[in-house]
């Protein structure tokens, strides 16, 4: 297989899993130079109009083609079992998870990781160019192949061991999952009060954009940061709902403690 890579300068890829990550990798790699998505496998039929028509699709594990790299984009807890049941061996098989260790992959294949640090949702196309891709493999040759593949998508490719990947993923949970939950809390609260959530859109975008030029530590503003107990009291009175009030308290205390002022 390495000779094929050398001859064509073209990395052949099969994508296993057509969920959000698999579908978007499929589109992005299909559009990239230096690699070719030759097949997309999914357990069940998929109806995703954004998937390129010309890419062969299969639901049959025995029909999976030979490729330079297999990208495994399935649920975390399915990685070990699925990799065990694959009908081929000695191939380069990279999962795309933030938390699953490389060693979870069955060792009949060459185990690796290809982790794009981004959130993927249906109907949102990601520009991979700025997306950091963390790669991990068991040999220099595999690492080099994955590096070429990742570089065809992104300008930010890095070696990342399983421990550091877990840590990055944990930090990602804070900025992505938890922030989004705060958006949701705000949306609910505004809806309860017949106010439009859309009014917050420019603020949300500026909050996110700001940290490209100011550290989040310096960017911190608001009643908790400036020790404005009057406003905090007013806000707590507005929040008659238990869970929202609890979150407000915990986050306010955390900010106050961070900046050295106690409530």
Binding to a second copy in span 56-95, by CB under 8 A: 76-77
What residues from 6 to 65 belong to the interface with a second copy (CB under 8 A)?
Answer: none
The answer for residues whose C-beta is within 8 angstroms of residue 75's C-beta and 6 or more apart is none
| Site string (101-130) toward a second copy, x via CB under 8 A | ----------------xxx-x-xx-x---x
**Please, what is the minimum distance in Å from the beta carbon of residue 6 to a second copy?**
31
Cβ pair 15, 71 in contact under 8 A: yes
Region near a second copy per CB under 8 A, out of 11-19, 44-52, 143-151, 229-237: 229-237
Among 43, 250, 261, 263, binds a second copy (CB under 8 A): 250
- Within 150-179, the residues that bind a second copy by CB under 8 A are 156, 164, 166-168, 170-179
Name which of 63 and 155 has its Cβ closer to a second copy.
Answer: 155
Which helix (H) or strand (E) is 114 found in, with range?
strand 110-116
Q: What is the CA angle 85-91-97, rounded to 5?
A: 70
Q: Residue 38, SS3?
A: strand
Identify the three-state secondary structure at position 211: coil
Q: Contacts with a second copy: how many residues (CB under 8 A)?
A: 84
Decide: is 260 part of the binding site for a second copy (CB under 8 A): no
Residue among 31 and 175 whose Cβ is closer to a second copy: 175
Given the structure tokens 């929040």, which residue do they identify?
239
The footprint of a second copy on residues 200-219 (CB under 8 A) is 200-217, 219
The answer to whether 195 contacts a second copy (rule: CB under 8 A) is: yes
3 state SS of 43: coil
Residues 97, 79 contacting (CB under 8 angstroms): yes
- Choose which of 78, 80, 143, 187 interacts with a second copy (CB under 8 A): 187
Let me know the angle formed at the C-alpha of 241 by 261 and 256, rounded to the nearest 5 degrees: 10
């Amino acid at each position: 297989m390495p000779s094929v890579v050398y001859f064509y300068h073209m990395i052949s890829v099969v994508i296993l899993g057509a969920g959000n990550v698999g579908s978007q990798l499929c589109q992005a790699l299909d559009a990239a130079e230096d690699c070719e998505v030759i097949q997309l496998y999914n357990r069940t039929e998929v109806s995703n109009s954004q998937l390129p028509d010309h890419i062969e699709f299969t639901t049959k594990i025995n029909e999976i083609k030979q490729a330079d790299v297999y990208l495994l984009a399935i649920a975390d807890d399915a990685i070990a079992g699925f990799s065990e049941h694959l009908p081929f061996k000695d191939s380069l098989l990279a999962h795309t998870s933030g938390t699953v260790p490389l060693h979870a992959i069955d060792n009949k294949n060459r185990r690796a990781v290809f982790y794009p640090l981004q959130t993927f949702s249906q109907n949102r196309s990601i520009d991979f160019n700025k997306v950091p891709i963390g790669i991990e493999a068991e040999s220099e040759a595999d690492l080099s192949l994955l590096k070429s593949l990742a570089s065809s998508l992104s300008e930010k490719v890095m070696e990342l061991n399983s421990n550091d990947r877990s840590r990055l993923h944990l930090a990602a949970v804070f900025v992505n999952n938890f922030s989004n939950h705060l958006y949701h809390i705000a949306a609910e609260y505004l809806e309860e009060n017949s106010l439009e959530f859309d009014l917050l859109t420019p603020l949300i975008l500026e909050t996110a954009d700001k940290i490209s030029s100011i550290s989040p530590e310096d960017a911190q503003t608001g009643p908790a940061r400036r020790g404005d107990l009057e406003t905090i009291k007013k806000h707590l009175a507005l929040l008659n709902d238990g869970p929202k009030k609890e979150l407000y308290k915990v986050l306010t205390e955390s900010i106050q403690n961070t900046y050295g002022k106690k409530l």
